[in-house]
Amino acid sequence: MMAAITARRLGAQVTILERNARVGKKLLATGNGRCNYTNINIGISCYHGANPGFARYALTHFTVEDALAFFKKLGIEPKVEEEGKVFPMSEQASSVLDVMRYELEESGVNTVCEALVKSIEPSKEGFLVEIDNGQVYKADRVILAAGGKAMPASGSDGRGYDLAQQLGHRTTDIFPALVQIMLEGPNFKRIEGVKINGTAEIIHNNRSVAIDRGDILFANYGVSGPPILQLSRKAAELLRDMQEVYLKINMLDSMSKEELLGLLTRRLQNAGAKTIEFSLVGLINKRLIPVVLMEAGIEKLKRRAVDMKAREIDELTRILTDWRFKIRGTKGWNSAQVTAGGVDISEIDPDTMESRLIPGLYFCGEMIDIDGKCGGYNLQWAWSSGFVAGQSAAL
C-alpha cells in the first residue's frame, strides 16, 4: 500500500493485486488491534537478518518522522507510549487501514482484490502477471510485497517466496519470530495465566546470550509476553542449529540475590506460626508458591517457616532469581508476528529495492530477509522499504 501510494503520487499508473477480499488485513491485527505503527527509538540495532545494515538506506530515506508526517497528513494523530511505541490516538488499527484505503482510492490506485498472483514472468516489454482466474496483467515494473509467512490466515502465507524463487531469487531459511516460547516442565498447567514482572534470559552453553524484561505470562505450553516475544528469535535460531537452550527467569529482579536472601531470611525468622507456604504470601503470586517451593526441593509445605534450613532458603532464593527451563521450541506460524529470513538481500539493491537479477522487479516489506524487534519496527520497515520501492519503480 505504501509502495502503491508513493508510486502513484509520482505519476505512475498503479495496480495492486491482492488475494483477499480487501487489502491490509494483517494491519487490523497489529498492536493488539491498536496498530503500533512506528517507534521513535528506531535504530539499525533493532533489526535482524543476514545483514541488518541493508535496511539503513530505506530507514534513513523514509524515517520515523516521515512516517509520522505521512500518517498525520492522512488523519492519524500519533500517541507515543512506553519504549517509544507509537499508536494512533483513536487506539484503533482500523483507522490506519481506513486512511490508507482512502488514500489509495483518492490518489487513483487501481486496487484489484480476490486476485491471487500465480506467476510473474519477465517479458520483452516488462512483466506478465497472471492471477488465479487466468487473467494476465501487463506491467512495466513489478513490486513484490507479498509479506512473510507469519499469521498465514492474513493472506501472507509464504507464497511470495515461491514467486521470488520462480523469478530466480534465492531465499534464506525462514522461521517464526516474535512468538511464544514452549518450555519443558511438569507444572505449567498449575500456573497457567499467572503474570509476573521480571527478567528473562536465553542461556546457551551456560552463558546469557539475550536478555529482556517486562511482563511474563505463564501458559500451559510455557511462556509468552513482550520480553518472551523479543527473545524468541534468538531461541529459535539456536534450536534450528540443534543447540540445547534454556530460559532463565528472575521474578524478583528489583533486588540483588544477596538482598533477596537477606529479605527471605528475615521474613522466615519473623514468620511466627506461619507455614512455609503461607510465609511467601505477599512476596510472590500465590499460585506460584507451591510450584516454586517444589522446584526448590522443599517438601512438607505445612511445616513452620521458622524451621526452614539455610540450605533450603538458599535454594528458594535461587529459584526466585534464576529459574531455568529447557526450551523445547517456539510456537508456530499461526502465533508468530513476523518472519525471520526471506528473500536474500545480496540480490537486492538497498538504495532502490530493485532486484539485482531482474531490472524492473522490486521487493519490500517482510518478505525480505529483514525483521525487527517487537514495538513498531516491522511496520516502519514496511513503510520505509515500501516508500523506496515505490519511488524507485515510478522514476
Ligand X SMILES: Cc1cc2nc3c(=O)[nH]c(=O)nc-3n(C[C@H](O)[C@H](O)[C@H](O)COP(=O)(O)OP(=O)(O)OC[C@H]3O[C@@H](n4cnc5c(N)ncnc54)[C@H](O)[C@@H]3O)c2cc1C
Contacting positions for ligand X (CB under 6 A): 17-20, 25-26, 29-31, 35-36, 116-117, 145-147, 150-151, 154-156, 159-160, 337-338, 365-367, 376-379, 382
Which C-beta is closer to ligand X: that of 291 or that of 345?
Answer: 345
User: d(Cα 73, Cα 46) in Å, to the nearest integer?
Assistant: 27
What phi and psi values does residue 203 have, to the nearest 5 degrees? Answer: -115, 125
Which C-beta is closer to ligand X: that of 152 or that of 185?
Answer: 152
Report, in Å, the least distance between residue 13 CB and ligand X.
Answer: 19
Q: Report which secondary-structure segment, H or E, holds 233.
A: helix 226-240
Which C-beta is closer to ligand X: that of 95 or that of 279?
Answer: 95
Which C-beta is closer to ligand X: that of 146 or that of 305?
Answer: 146
Q: Which three cell numbers stand for residue 69?
A: 508526517
Report, in Å, the least distance between residue 188 CB and ligand X.
Answer: 23
Report, in Å, the least distance between residue 143 CB and ligand X.
Answer: 10
Which C-beta is closer to ligand X: that of 96 or that of 216?
Answer: 96
User: d(Cα 135, Cα 311) in Å, to the nearest integer?
Assistant: 75
Q: What is the DSSP string of 168-220?
A: T--B---EEES--EEE--S-HHHHTT-EEEEEEEEEETTEEEEEEEEEEEEET
User: d(Cα 80, Cα 256) in Å, to the nearest integer?
Assistant: 32
Report, in Å, the least distance between residue 323 CB and ligand X.
Answer: 28
Cβ contact 138:128 at 8 Å: yes
Residue type, 144: L
Report, in Å, the least distance between residue 366 CB and ligand X.
Answer: 4
Q: Which three cell numbers stand for residue 300?
A: 512438607
